[in-house]
Homo-oligomer: A and B are copies of this chain.
């Protein structure tokens, strides 16, 4: 049984991360105000997006720091909070690319700006205005991420140790996203390629990277970093696989996304690739006709869910999640407390979540 962790548990850290983000945004407000009062909706949109979120990447980075012997302090919370700005960029731009309507239960950023355009009665296309504003908001969020990290006052040497990892994380995130675009365009069909997308887009960026960053900020040695990889990579893949399952079987009231969203988008995930590997010719024909149909009915969604279940693909992916999660947990043995327990709990939460 994981023991109880210190008062600095996951929820408390979430609040502190949020406060640091608020404080960073309020420092930027005068810079934007000086440009013009047109900028207010721009800052508001980012503020709204940053209010929600699981703060997973900051949590992994913070506990990477603690496991490497770093003491709790405001500076490390500020540094890890910067990862939420990087993630905000990824989400805002991802929603533009997928033309998604919703994010975290509210309208996606480009839809939000399209609505501002529409209600102001401005000229031109509301959708183009929305997409343009969202591209710029993602850009500013990406720029602010490193501004916040390097202004965290953790000290020049600590920041320098973590910089190569931070840089690689960003490069691999964008590369993974591009790989995903290519995979969608190819029409999927390969479990191996879908897993590679998951590794670059998610495992390295969501778990291994933040853990390494936190560890390196505290001066972690190669043994500990190796342990973080043994935990982070399988857990990150399991995390992405859980995402895939939720994208098909998730409950809208809980996920904040419409039912079967990924099916309407035709997302080429590991779950879908595993289904295609196990399909009868008739099922394959059915999938090719309905996957990616934006107006897929509730009945159609249920039928595809049926194929995913009957072929055994769902059971296969669930088993894979379990294997990967167990491998991740095994890598934690011997890590110092309370870090070990928190990382065990984070792993459980990452694979058992319903949102």
Contact = CB atoms under 8 A, between A and B. Distances in A.
Contact of A185 (B122, B147, B170, B292): B122
Contacts of A318: none
B177 A136 contact: yes
A177 B137 CA distance: 10
B181 A35 contact: no
A133 B180 CA distance: 10
B129 A181 contact: yes
A354 interface: no
A89 B93 CA distance: 14
Main secondary structure, interface of A, reads helix
Interface stretch (A60-68, A138-146, A303-311): A138-146
A133 B183 CA distance: 12
A136 B42 contact: no
A178 interface: yes
Interface in A175-204: 175-179, 181-182, 184-187, 196, 200
A296 to B, nearest CB: 16
A280 interface: no
A153 to B, nearest CB: 11
B136 A139 contact: no
Contact of A36 (B38, B122, B179): B179
Interface in A222-254: none
B135 A97 contact: yes
A97 B32 CA distance: 21
Interface residues of A, number: 58
A131 interface: yes
Contacts of A298: none
Contacts of A172: 31, 35
Contact of A136 (B35, B38, B181): B181
A175 B93 contact: no
Interface in A128-171: 128-129, 131-133, 135-140, 142-144, 146-147, 150, 156, 163, 167-168, 170-171
A21 to B, nearest CB: 16
Contacts of A50: none
A147 B156 CA distance: 15
Contacts of A42: 175, 178
A123 interface: yes
